[in-house]
Structure 1
C-alpha cells in the first residue's frame, strides 16, 4: 500500500502532520527500516517521499466489556456501562435479569481490562453501622483485599469489610487543596483513610475516627505505607471523642446520617474553623433541608454559621445526589 517514508528523527512531526491532513491510514502498524520510518497513508501527500510498502494489520482491542460479553440479545440493553474499580478489583451493579450471566460478564471484564484481577457484583446496599455491602463473586481471583492508588497515596483495604468509594477521589482532592499547612484536622468517619492520609500531607495533625475495627486496622497499615506519622487513628464511637479535641477543619463523610452528628462536629471545631458536611438530597431541593438543620444545631449551641460552598458531588440514585456543604462555625 501507499506509504510516506521519513527519517526517524522527523517521525513524530510527520505523524502529527499526517493526522492533521487526515491521510494517516488507521489499523496498521508503523514500519521501521534502519534510519527511516514508514507511515501508511490513504492518498498521495505533497512534500513527503512516497513509497509502496506492506504493513501489518493491528488487531482492534475492544474498549468495553459489552463488546465481547456473551449474553442473550434480549438482555444486552441492561448491561451497565460502568463499574467501580478499587485497586485491581471491579465491582459492578447488575439487575436481577443479568445475575444468571454474572460469570460471563465477569470474564468479559477481565478479558478487556487486563489490570483487573477479580470481579464482584453488588449483592446489597451499603448498610449496617460499618457501612459495608454483600459482594457476589463473579470471576477472577477469589479475594477481596487490594491496594488502591489515588491522588498520589496508597490505600490497602478489603472491599468486603470496609466502606470505600473510588468515586470520591475528586472530592477528596478538593478538600486537600483547601487545607492549609499547619491545620489540625478531624476526620469523623475516616474508614481506611482516603481523606486522612491525603490531608496528612498538608496538615500539622490529623485525628481519624471510625467505629469499624477493620477500617482502623487498615488505616494503621496505610499510615505506615504512606509514612503519615502525624495521623492519629481512633477506634470507637465519634460521640465519645467529640469535644475532647479542637480542630481547624472537620470532615463529615457520612452522607446518610451526618445530620445526626452535627452537634459533635461543631463542638470539635475551633471558632472560625470549617466543617465539610455531606448528605443525600432529592434533585428538586438539594440544600435547604440540610442547611436548616445546620442552622438549628448551631442555634442550640449558641453558635452561628457562615455557608461557604455548596456542590453536587455525584449522582446517588435516580434524581438523588450526594451533596457537599462547606460552612464556617463562629462561637
Structure 2
C-alpha cells in the first residue's frame, strides 16, 4: 500500500532527516528509499516546503528485545522462561527450571540470536559449593569456552566462569564501597576472587592486600593487575585465617555472605582502630540486620574491641524471603 513520502536530493538527506524527526512526522517503522540522486523519506503527514510523493516503503524489521520472543518451546511452558540471566563478558549463564532443561539448546540459540555480543551460553548445573565456591556449568549453545573478559566500573576482569566465583550483580555495591574509600588507605580484601573489589579499590588505595584460597582466582587476579595496570595490589594465595592479624588495614572487605560470620575474629584483628569493615551476610526478611549486629558485637567484645555500625543496606534478594545484606561498621 502506497504511503506519503518526502523527496529530497541526496546531499540534503541528513539535514532533512533530522528536521523530520524534530517535527515528529518521520515514519521510523519504514526504511528510507533511494531513487537515483534522490532520497524519499516515509512520513506520517505532508510537510510544507517539501515535494510530497506517493511510494511503497519496506518495513523496518524490528529486532526482538528478549530471547523469549523467538525461542521455540511448548506454549504451556512459556511462562516458566526466566526473565533474566547473568552476562559475564561475552558469556551468558542462565538458570532453568527442570521442565525447561530439555529445551536448553533452543533457549541458548535464542539468546545468541537476540544478544549479538554473547558468544557462549551455559546453564547452571548445580548450586555454588565447595571451598572454591564454584558451580557446574552445562553448555547450551555457542562457543565451548568458559574464559572471558568482563568489564565493569571502568575496569577489566579476566576470569574463567567454571573455575572461579564471580557475580556481575554486585557491580553497584562494589562502586559504593569504592566511593566510600579514602585516598591512600591500606585495604584488606579477605575473599578477593579475581579482584573486582581489589582492582577497583587500587585506583584509590595506597595498598590492597587481596587474599583467596582458590589458586585459579589468584592466577586471574595476577593477570587483572597487569590488565588494569595497578601495581599496588598484593595477591595472597591461602587460608585467610593464616593471614589475619599480620595486616593492619584501614578498610576490610568481607564479601563471603554465607560464611562471613565465621571470619569476624580475623577481620577485626586485621583492622586498625577507627578502621571500617564492610561485612556481607544472608538474612531472612523478618530479621535483616539484628542477628548479624549481635554477632559482630559479641566477637568484638571477646577481642576487647568495640564497634559502631555506620551503614546498613539490602544489597539484593537472594532467595524467597532471603536477602543479601551489607553492614558497614567501624572498629575501635
Q: Give the alignment's TM-score, normalised by structure 2.
A: 0.93
Determine if the alignment matches structure 1 residue 74 to structure 2 residue 76. Answer: yes
Provide the residue aligned with 1:105 in structure 2: 107
Separation (CA, whole Å) in 2 of partners of 1:16 and 1:307 = 53
Which residue matches 2:57? 55
1:199 corresponds to 2:201: yes
- CA shift at 1:320, angstroms? 1.2
Q: For 1:216 and 1:316, how far apart are their aligned partners in 2?
A: 26
Residue ranges of structure 2 left out of the alignment (5+ in a row): none
Offset of residue 40 of structure 1: 2.3
Match of 1:88 in 2: 90
Work out whether residues 11 and 37 of structure 1, in 8 Å CA contact, stay in contact via their aligned partners in 2: no
1:54 to partner: Cα distance: 4.3
Does structure 1 conserve the Cα–Cα contact (< 8 Å) formed by 2:120 and 2:142? yes
Cα displacement string for residues 163-222 of structure 1 (whole angstroms, at most 9, x for unaligned residues): 000111111111111111111110000000000011101111000000001100111111
| Pairing 1:1-331 to 2, within 5 Å after superposition | 1-4=3-6, 7-8=12-13, 10-11=15-16, 13-19=18-24, 23-31=25-33, 39-45=41-47, 49=50, 51-52=52-53, 53-330=55-332
Whole-angstrom CA distance in 1 between matches of 2:80 and 2:59: 33
Aligned partners of 1:5 and 1:181: how far apart in 2?
A: 60
Q: Decide whether aligned partners of structure 1 residues 182 and 91 sit closer, same or farther in structure 2, where only a CA change above 3 A counts.
A: same
C-alpha contact (below 8 Å) 2:207/2:232 kept by paired residues: yes
Give runs of ≥4 in structure 1 deviating > 6 Å. Answer: 32-37
Q: TM-score, normalised by structure 1?
A: 0.93
Matches of 1:48 and 1:4, distance apart in 2: 10
8 Å contact kept, 2:46–2:52: no
Cα distance in 2 between the residues matched to 1:76 and 1:256: 33
RMSD of the TM alignment (CA)? 1.9
Structure 1 unaligned residues grouped into runs of 5+: none
Alignment check: 8 A CA contact 1:8 1:35 kept: no
- Tell me, in whole angstroms, the C-alpha distance in 1 between the residues paired with 2:50 and 2:112: 44
Q: Secondary structure of 1:75's partner?
A: helix
